[in-house]
Structure 1
Amino acid sequence: MDRFPDRRHVRLRSREQGWYLHATSDGMDVCLNRDRRSVNAAWAVHLDNGRDGVRLLLHSAAYGRYLAATNKKAPRGHRGFSTKLLECYDFEGDESVRWEAVMSGSKEDVQLRHVEADGKFRYLRGSGKYRYWKDKVTVHRKNRSTMTHWVVELIPLSQGFPGIPGPFDEPVPSNFGLMLGRELPPWRLIKYVRAAEDGSYNQQANAWTTIQFRGNSVGTLRNELASRTGITDVDFVMCIQAGRQGRLTPVLVNMPREGHGDTVYIVIIVSGTPGEAALRYPDINA
């Protein structure tokens, strides 16, 4: 696991394609994309010391959701089984998000293998070697193809909070934008709680405040939370928690374009506190 320091951010570059493992903009899947200077290409390392040794978990720096293997057949033209971004990592024993990193090929390459219930392995595999438009990332039992080889790039830390996109106009019911074919943004339930200065927070359900929020703009959401909490909007960082077992992920990009009816858990961490100082941000331009 030397290539994956706990709580740091990495990129995973396909050895064969040269493209990067990306969280898709709908927040549901993963794919290959050539853009390395994107938050969607950054993955936070979560090392878990379980009964079977150390396992590797990766959660998206964009949405906080964990890379997971599924038993769903891969789309037509792809091999093996689908992967996805797990919206809620609630159970510590959830094996779908647990991976092992093994050296393969050149000294720069790793393979990420997922252990099935029967003890067999499935390997994270890129697509598009001959048909570049086939960009899905799957898991496959065969590991001889170089499409299962990944180069790990450690992302330097940003010196401070890089900020978030500002508010932007989104269509609302009866808005003229709808007449022009613009899609109505989703409704979400936002559950939020304010952390203590050390970054700890109450996990009990009755400690969280619930609001309804329409839209994908995190700038608008921060303004709404500032109004409700009385904290100046530039004086706190929003962190998303993708399930009870999920680690906090600082919000850096707008919410996924899909997600109507989703519940999003936000922990508010006040700037200048030890809790905020402990947060880590990837320098995606490095």
Structure 2
Amino acid sequence: MDLFPDGAFVRLRNRAQQTYLHADDDGEGVSLRPHGRVFSLNAVWRVHRVLIDGDTFVLLQGAVYGRYLAIAPGRAPSGYRGSRAVQRDYGASNVGAVMWRPFRMVDDERYISLRHDFDRNLRANGRYRFWHTAVTVDNNEGRWSTMIQWTVGTFQLGPGLPPLPRPTVNLGGRSSLFRRRRPEADERRTIRHVRANDEGDFDQNSDNWPTFPYYGRSVFNLRVQVGARQPGGEVGGGIRLAVRPGLQGRLTPLVTDLPRSVDSMDIVVFNTGSQGAQNLVYPDIP
């Protein structure tokens, strides 16, 4: 447990594949990806520890979309072992799915396994079929297989939140900051939002929050539209947005474009510079 202090930002690298646990852009899948030119926020996870009936569990919350590493019901697709590892919101209906226990490997304490329930472990795939990059949870017959072993790296807290990416438009194939994109009518999602006070307190019941339909993935445009719906209107950098991934999920600042899924999102609005906004944390990614 010492490798997973509450609130820390970590990355997990598989011992066999030498690739990183990655929250996919669809907001649901989890896969293994190599280290790019710049380390991806999708491969950063925030530790959320909980105590249940005297037992401590580790939850891993994706730093990019705020959703939690979980096990999906049912079997993984053909060619994979066990059940799929996925991203899920954290609420009363799926508490068990997001609970993990880290164990150091006896033969080499640099590596850990992440165990879900009894002897089911988070595992890589693709040892022989390299195109199989999805991550699964499996009752592995090879107890010490390197496919279930992970190294844990940590990040320091960043000095502040980064600026939001500007929206792009597609001008018929030309590369430009303002490329005009095709219509995204099929990408509508419901946004629920609430305004926090300067201390960061807000109405916890999302049934009371106003809603509106939102098209596309731009977090910059989302801030504009949410700001326009605040009393008196808000423009520019006067507000910061955080996503609440389920009633029990910790707030995560929105600093990248939204996932490709059209799942509803619960957004908490903070005044920039307020104590509530300063409580939002971001990893210092090299």
Matches for 1:138-217 after TM superposition, within 5 Å: 138-142=136-140, 143-169=143-169, 178=182, 184-205=185-206, 207-217=208-218
One-letter amino acid of the counterpart of residue 147, structure 2: M
The percent identity for this pair of structures is 37
Whole-angstrom distance in 2 between the partners of 1:193 and 1:167: 24
Q: Deviations over 1:121-152 (max 9, x none)?
A: 21000112222211010011123211100001
Whole-angstrom distance in 2 between the partners of 1:252 and 1:121: 36
Whole-angstrom distance in 2 between the partners of 1:213 and 1:186: 8
Whole-angstrom distance in 1 between the partners of 2:170 and 2:244: 25
Whole-angstrom distance in 1 between the partners of 2:4 and 2:181: 45
Q: Structure 1 residue 253 and structure 2 residue 256: aligned?
A: yes
Matches for 1:219-234 after TM superposition, within 5 Å: 219-229=220-230, 230-234=233-237
| Gapped regions of structure 2 (runs ≥ 5) | 172-179
Matches for 1:267-282 after TM superposition, within 5 Å: 267-282=268-283
Instruction: Give the equivalent residue in structure 1 for 2:176.
Output: none
Whole-angstrom distance in 2 between the partners of 1:249 and 1:92: 20
Whole-angstrom distance in 2 between the partners of 1:183 and 1:238: 22
TM-score (norm 1): 0.89
Q: Deviations over 1:27-70 (max 9, x none)?
A: 11100000361110011110001114110001111111111112
Whole-angstrom distance in 2 between the partners of 1:205 and 1:20: 34
RMSD of aligned Cα (Å): 2.0
Whole-angstrom distance in 1 between the partners of 2:186 and 2:155: 32
One-letter amino acid of the counterpart of residue 4, structure 2: F
TM-score (norm 2): 0.89
Whole-angstrom distance in 2 between the partners of 1:206 and 1:98: 26
Q: Structure 1 residue 242 and structure 2 residue 240: aligned?
A: no
Whole-angstrom distance in 2 between the partners of 1:64 and 1:93: 15
One-letter amino acid of the counterpart of residue 131, structure 1: R
Contact 1:170 1:185 (8 Å CA) reproduced: no
Count of aligned pairs: 271
Helix, strand or coil: the match of 2:192? strand
Q: 1:183 to 1:93 in 2, by over 3 A?
A: closer
How far off its partner does 1:108 sit?
A: 1.4
One-letter amino acid of the counterpart of residue 129, structure 1: R
| Gapped regions of structure 1 (runs ≥ 5) | none
Contact 1:168 1:220 (8 Å CA) reproduced: no
Instruction: Give the equivalent residue in structure 2 for 1:69.
Output: 71
Contact 2:70 2:99 (8 Å CA) reproduced: yes
Instruction: Give the equivalent residue in structure 2 for 1:39.
Output: 41
Helix, strand or coil: the match of 1:254? coil
One-letter amino acid of the counterpart of residue 61, structure 1: A
Whole-angstrom distance in 2 between the partners of 1:215 and 1:66: 23
Q: Deviations over 1:61-94 (max 9, x none)?
A: 11111111123212222211111111x3221772
Helix, strand or coil: the match of 2:92? coil
One-letter amino acid of the counterpart of residue 251, structure 2: L
Contact 2:103 2:113 (8 Å CA) reproduced: yes
Matches for 1:67-146 after TM superposition, within 5 Å: 67-86=69-88, 88-91=89-92, 94-104=95-105, 105-115=107-117, 120-142=118-140, 143-146=143-146
Whole-angstrom distance in 2 between the partners of 1:75 and 1:224: 39
Whole-angstrom distance in 2 between the partners of 1:168 and 1:224: 16
Contact 2:184 2:215 (8 Å CA) reproduced: no
